[in-house]
Structure 1
Amino acid sequence: MDSHRAAFVAEAEDGITDLNNALLALEADPEDAEAMDDVFRVAHTLKGNAAAMGYEDVSDFGHALEDLLDAVRQGDREVTPELMDLLFEGVDAVEAMVSEIADTGEVSTDPSDLESRLREMEERGTVGGSDAGEDDAEDETETDDSVDADADDADPAEDDAADDDADEGVPDVEVPEPPAGAADLPEPVAYADVTIGDAQMPGVDAALVLQALDEQFDDHVTDPAPEALEEGEYDESFDAFVGGDDPEVVAEGLRALTQVEAVTAVAVGGEEASEPADSDAEAADSEPAAAEPEPDDTEPVDAEPDDADLMEDDAEDAPEPAAADADEATEESDDEGDSGSAGGSDSKSADEIKSIRVDVDQVDELYGLVEQLVTSRIKLRREIEGTDAESDALDELDKLASSLQDTAMDMRLIPFSQVSDSFPRLVRDISRDLDKRIEFEIEGDDVELDRTILTEMRDPLVHVLRNAVDHGIESPEEREAAGKDPTGHVSLTAERERDHVIIEVSDDGGGLDPDQLREKAVDEDVKSREAVEAMEDDEVYDLVFHPGFSTAEEVTDVSGRGVGMDVVRTTARDLDGSVSIESEPGEGSTVRFRLPVTVAIVKVMFVDVGGTEYGIPIKSIAEVARADDVEEVHGDEVVRHEDDLYPVVRLNERLGEIDPTAAERPTETPAADGGVAADEPGDDGFVPADPTTDSGPGDAGEGPTDDGMLVRIREETRQVALHCDAVLDQEEVVVKPLDGPLSGTPGLSGTAVLGDGDVVAVLDVVSL
């Protein structure tokens, strides 16, 4: 995909999301003028960008969509469910066409049927209904035309006075020195000062303007040259010299482009050059003002987009004039000495370039190189430590590599809104299908997560939201009968918690009945009667994640087949996260995801289990202690921590079940600074772990003891203590997920390659 098409698709996809959300706001409050303005502005931008790129099918369809929106904005059409459904259907059609452009560069969808329905809704206020009222509409049109005619026939003296007032407010424009090639332009020559403003993609916007110039005007030159403009090497505005056209024609042509914030055009000398008309919003729609040019005058044309054609940012939000910036740059240059104007220009350009667009493949490649650097750094440190040598240069390398790693990981972080922005439309459509009233709220959409995590979590979140609307929220009649507001409430929140992000989907619906879940589990042979009776309510809620288990009374198009919640949990675990459910019968339910902010590079603690080394992510560890306080309760081994009992999982037994043929690796004699003995255990026998520090749970090695060691896992991850023979050292490693037949193996999250070439399995403490 070429850069221009990629930029168009990216901007169009963002615009479609904005349009969906603006339409939702308009549907919620038809009197919201700001929402109406947002809808119209985004639709106009989509149409204009498509036209500039030459996608006439998208542009023509967008024009029909824009005309219907304009009828709503003018008060000619009311916001009705039928109209909103048609508008949303139109947005879906645009999305389908943009997707085709992204894939093939061409549009194969034929939107003519939907376009005719949009036109019919605009003209008649309904689709496929009676023709009654068309005569009234025609009468109103005739009345409007007569009013316009009366306005055109108003006192000419008043028009002249208005023109004089407008002319007095038009600033003088100094025509700069024309660039090379301008001398060959045919007369008359028009100069245009084209302002694009503070654009996110200045090169792309300039390229679209240049394309429009090529299509509309045969002879023109620009300063800077087109190649520089397409690279974004200009300060919000540039100069254009057009031959063979009047300034008013040039201004009008450029004014229609959505990328152009403002245009000022004047004639460049010559008696044949006509005086440009004031292209103010109303003047552009009326007859051209009388031209009485003087030979040496250069009167400008200020072309600003009007509300009917293009709704851009408010004037007070517009960037500072380029001239003012140039003056500041010149002053700084003068203060520094005889550096010349070029120095000031370079300084200004450096200040203006705030960001660059980078392909995600390049970011992933950089991240892969950083992973290799981390592995090489580990290998180098182990080799140097093996010689008992000390190196300040290696310590410096550690710091630099860590900084590079943090920067590369931050580059992969994107806001939660990249996924959540599409959910309001999803909830709206489902609630409409189910005849339910739902208020949907999103909080924390600015929280950032790794791109891979967000990509993988989109489908699970969609499934959970579907369940909340379908199974959770009751019908308006049921809610009223239960004394609730007939409108249900669903919320999606994201919150950063140290190195994790907590994502919750909550609803105030009927909730889950633990007794009903027990009966379902027995009926579907998921658990025995004795097993479910012995389960606490929190454990019963986890049955929802069992494959094939569903609480739906009947299968619908939305959900109820029992396929999905098990995938939700599997996806969360594959991302080194977890998912849980809390519910209160009659009050609602909450599905909570706990996910890492980033993936791949993690700090792990190495433990010895039967002569084989394994890794446990430090972020999952709460404390480490000697296994000398293990008790037996009802035949099960437990260890006490404060007032809670933690079941003990002996890794040599559990891992033997997972991989009885695991290759043994001799346990290394831990270095003097590599284990846990440095910290004294507390009253409960545990050594506190602090994953936020480099030291982690302890600073000194601990060889095998008679009773072994216990690694207590954080309660929010899993309330359990893992028994191992010894705790070794810890370090940062690159974790590679298991592929092929080993993918999804319970108890294992991936593997790490150590500096000496050994491969160590990293444990998944949740599924052990």
Structure 2
Amino acid sequence: MDSHRAAFVAEAEDGITDLNNALLALEADPEDAEAMDDVFRVAHTLKGNAAAMGYEGVSDFGHALEDLLDAVRQGDREVTPELMDLLFEGVDTVEAMVSEIADTGDVSTDPSDLEGRLREMEEHGTVGGEDGDGDADSGTDASDADDADADGGDEDGGVNEASADEDPESSEDDAEDISVPELPDAAAALDDPVVYADVTIGEAAMAGVDAALVLQALDGQFGEYVTVPGPEALEDGEYDERFDVFVADADPGVVAEGLGALTQVESIATGLVEDGEDGEDVEHGEHGEDGEDGEDGDAVDDGSEAAVGVGGADDADDANESAKDDSSSNSKSDSNSGDEIKSIRVDVDQVDELYGLVEQLVTSRIKLRRELEATDAQSDTLDELDKLASSLQDTAMDMRLIPFSQVSDSFPRLVRDISRDLGKRIDFEIEGDDVELDRTILTEMRDPLVHVLRNAVDHGIETPEEREVAGKEPTGHVRLTAERERDHVIIEVADDGGGLDPDQLREKAVDEGVKSREAVEAMENEEVYDLVFHPGFSTAEEVTDVSGRGVGMDVVRTTARDLDGSVSVESEPGEGTTVQFRLPVTVAIVKVMFVDVGGTEYGIPIKSIAEVARADDVEEVHGDEIVRHEDDLYPVIRLNERLANGGATAAGPGDDDPTDGDAAGGDAAAATTDGGVTDEGMLVRIREETRQVALHCDAVLDQEEVVVKPLDGPLSGTPGLSGTAVLGDGDVVAVLDVVSL
């Protein structure tokens, strides 16, 4: 596709989305003059762009749409359901023609019949006479609307917009000055010059492990030092996201670079202790909340003080600060000479290619560092490469992020068409459409979200008559929300419909042979709701064109899991149902902890880990091994035995409850450990919201960012494995899926 056609298609797709939403606003309030102006403006732009590109068929059809809209705007025609159906059908036709232009460059659709009906509506106010025959012809089928939605969007458009400007929040200088404190008593004997370092770890899942790795780096790179609080307290995680370090006979810049290169360190500020007593300040880099782009201090005084930010956009700020300073006057003069281009359109294939190169760079960086470590070599250049590679990685990943609105903008039209087809009244709300996710995740999640929305409208919301009998308002409510939560995005589809009846679900499960009568009677309601994800399971009393065929919710869960996410259902009979997705913001490059299991290295995603501790508190209860945390019991899974028995196959592909394998693993462990109590090895406790278990391994090795490749072919979907990572020495390490293990 040439650049002019690609630009036309991209702008036309955006215009179609805007036109759909503006028509929905007009349908909701025919007196909304602003909505009417938006509709007319977008339609006029589409028509003009098509004419400029030489697509006369699209332009002529757009002219018929524009004339009908002008008649509505002038008050000659009223906004009726028949008129709105005709307009929406016209938008669908324009979308189909634009899709053909994107694919072949030509238009094969013949819109003459619909164009005639548009002209008839403009002249007579109806189609086919007063009996409204034309209304049946022009009604938009919900499934057709869904197909039209699927044809558009990111896949066909093939463009992603990358901003050339920095985040305005990141561009502000929010540096905070701190003073170098006096030496504590414990550091009085340190040799001069003494360097003070303010080390910030930030919010960490394993604060003690992160601090221990910093102490290990201090032992290896410097001589004597003192920390406040002391090493034992740090290793126990007893500090509030930051701590002080006093290093003997050192240089501030060297300390900053040495500790700043550690991935555990969010930011570090250093300075000579005697300088601090004179009242001089050091710039302290502040990191954005939850690891997002933040702000760093810029000042570094004559080599005696340094500020180094680690992670995210801070790295880019530090690595490129001097270049920014040198070019600031030139950029200002350039911007004064004319309007500066603020953004560019980039083909998604180019973004994906860049991301692939960054993945290779990350792997090569890990390989180089491991080779140097094997020779006990130190390299400041490698530390600088680490920072630049991390910055490039963050930038490339941010370029793949697109707002949730890229998908959600088509949903109001979808809900409108389905509700109209079913004779229901629905108020549809969207919140958080500015939340950003990886393009791949949004692309994969579009169809599951469509299916869940269709279910909410078809099965969830009752008819106006049924709602009035139940004491509800005739108009039902469906709400779609997206919210950022650290490195995940929570997407919810909630309705105030009839909800799910757990007893009905139990009966269906027994009737369809999904579960036995004894099994469903023993289930809590929360477990019963998960039955809707079983293949072929459906609560619909009859099959409709919208849903009820029992071929969708299992695919919804599979898609979420393939994206390293999850989906759950909550419901209250008579009150409504909520389907919640928990998805990662980005994919591919993740931070993992490496553990040793019988001499083999495995990776566990850091985001799944709550705590790491020695295996000296393992107990045996009813023949199973457990470890206590506060008031909760965590079953112990011995990785050595679970992985030796075929790698997490204890649960089995056909086992709906992967935790059933815990007991088997515990029994096997108890049989080989003299009562199931051991003080050897390490326990990795998994976050409760992910899975309430503790994984036993021989040793915890290290943590590192790696490129995770999903399993393909026969290995795809293997329980217990989420993918593989290539390490610096060329070894391939399996990354564990703690949910299905």
Q: TM-score range by the shorter chain?
A: 0.5 to 0.7
> Which stretches of structure 1, 4 residues or more, deviate above 6 A after TM superposition?
342-345
Given candidates 711, 715, 719, the residue that maps to 1:738 is 711
Is the Cα–Cα contact under 8 Å of residues 593 and 704 in structure 2 kept in the other structure? yes
Query: Mean alpha-carbon deviation: is it higher for 403-412 or for 508-517?
Result: 508-517
Pairing 1:8–2:14 present: no
**Who is 2:529 aligned against?**
541
Is the Cα–Cα contact under 8 Å of residues 623 and 711 in structure 1 kept in the other structure? yes
Pairing 1:453–2:426 present: no
Q: Using the alignment, how far apart are the partners of 1:388 and 1:767 within structure 2?
A: 39
Q: What does 1:515-664 correspond to in 2, within 5 Å?
A: 515-659=503-647
**Who is 1:65 aligned against?**
65
Q: What does 1:162-181 correspond to in 2, within 5 Å?
A: none
Q: What does 1:254-269 correspond to in 2, within 5 Å?
A: none
Cα pair distance change 1:655/1:474, threshold 3 Å: farther
Quick check: which has more Rg, 1 or 2? 1
**Cα deviation, residue 609, structure 1:** 2.2
For 2:61, what is the secondary structure of its paired residue?
A: helix
Is the Cα–Cα contact under 8 Å of residues 545 and 565 in structure 1 kept in the other structure? yes
**Who is 2:249 aligned against?**
none
**Who is 1:80 aligned against?**
80
Given candidates 706, 715, 729, the residue that maps to 1:756 is 729
Is the Cα–Cα contact under 8 Å of residues 379 and 756 in structure 1 kept in the other structure? yes
Cα pair distance change 1:562/1:723, threshold 3 Å: farther
Q: Using the alignment, how far apart are the partners of 1:6 and 1:349 within structure 2?
A: 30
**Who is 1:126 aligned against?**
126
Q: Using the alignment, how far apart are the partners of 2:648 and 2:126 within structure 1?
A: 70
Cα pair distance change 1:707/1:585, threshold 3 Å: farther
**Cα deviation, residue 657, structure 1:** 4.3
For 2:344, what is the secondary structure of its paired residue?
A: coil
**Who is 2:381 aligned against?**
393
Q: Deviations over 1:621-640 (max 9, x none)?
A: 11112233334445543332
**Who is 1:479 aligned against?**
467
Q: Using the alignment, how far apart are the partners of 1:519 and 1:490 within structure 2?
A: 27
**Cα deviation, residue 523, structure 1:** 1.5
Q: What does 1:119-518 correspond to in 2, within 5 Å?
A: 119-130=119-130, 346-348=334-336, 352-518=340-506
Is the Cα–Cα contact under 8 Å of residues 709 and 724 in structure 2 kept in the other structure? yes
Is the Cα–Cα contact under 8 Å of residues 648 and 719 in structure 2 kept in the other structure? no
**Who is 2:261 aligned against?**
none
5+ long unaligned stretches in structure 1: 133-199, 202-341, 662-703
Cα pair distance change 1:705/1:754, threshold 3 Å: farther
Cα pair distance change 1:343/1:589, threshold 3 Å: closer
Give the structure, 1 or 2, with the largest relative contact order (CA under 8 Å, sep 6 or more): 2
Q: Using the alignment, how far apart are the partners of 1:574 and 1:554 within structure 2?
A: 31
TM-score normalised over the length of structure 2 = 0.68
**Cα deviation, residue 759, structure 1:** 0.3
**Who is 2:695 aligned against?**
722
Cα pair distance change 1:532/1:656, threshold 3 Å: farther
Q: Which amino acid aligns with 1:757?
A: G
TM-score normalised over the length of structure 1 = 0.65
Q: Which amino acid aligns with 1:30?
A: P
Q: Which amino acid aligns with 1:408?
A: A
Q: Using the alignment, how far apart are the partners of 2:31 and 2:358 within structure 1?
A: 53
Is the Cα–Cα contact under 8 Å of residues 648 and 740 in structure 2 kept in the other structure? no
For 1:356, what is the secondary structure of its paired residue?
A: strand
Q: Deviations over 1:403-441 (max 9, x none)?
A: 111111111110000000000001111111111111000
**Cα deviation, residue 358, structure 1:** 1.4
5+ long unaligned stretches in structure 2: 133-160, 163-329, 650-676
Is the Cα–Cα contact under 8 Å of residues 24 and 424 in structure 1 kept in the other structure? yes
**Who is 1:227 aligned against?**
none
Q: Using the alignment, how far apart are the partners of 2:41 and 2:23 within structure 1?
A: 12
For 2:725, what is the secondary structure of its paired residue?
A: strand
Q: Deviations over 1:580-630 (max 9, x none)?
A: 111111111111111111111100011122332111110111111223333
Q: CA RMSD in A?
A: 2.2
**Who is 2:105 aligned against?**
105
**Cα deviation, residue 343, structure 1:** 11
Q: Which amino acid aligns with 2:381?
A: A
**Cα deviation, residue 12, structure 1:** 0.3
Q: Using the alignment, how far apart are the partners of 1:419 and 1:130 within structure 2?
A: 39
Q: How many residues are paired up? A: 519
**Who is 1:276 aligned against?**
none
Q: Deviations over 1:67-99 (max 9, x none)?
A: 111111111111111111110000000000000
Q: Deviations over 1:358-412 (max 9, x none)?
A: 1111111111111111101101111111111222211111111111111111111
Q: Deviations over 1:464-491 (max 9, x none)?
A: 1111111111111111111111111001
Q: Using the alignment, how far apart are the partners of 1:99 and 1:489 within structure 2?
A: 32
Q: Which amino acid aligns with 1:17?
A: T
Q: Which amino acid aligns with 1:39?
A: V
Cα pair distance change 1:409/1:430, threshold 3 Å: same
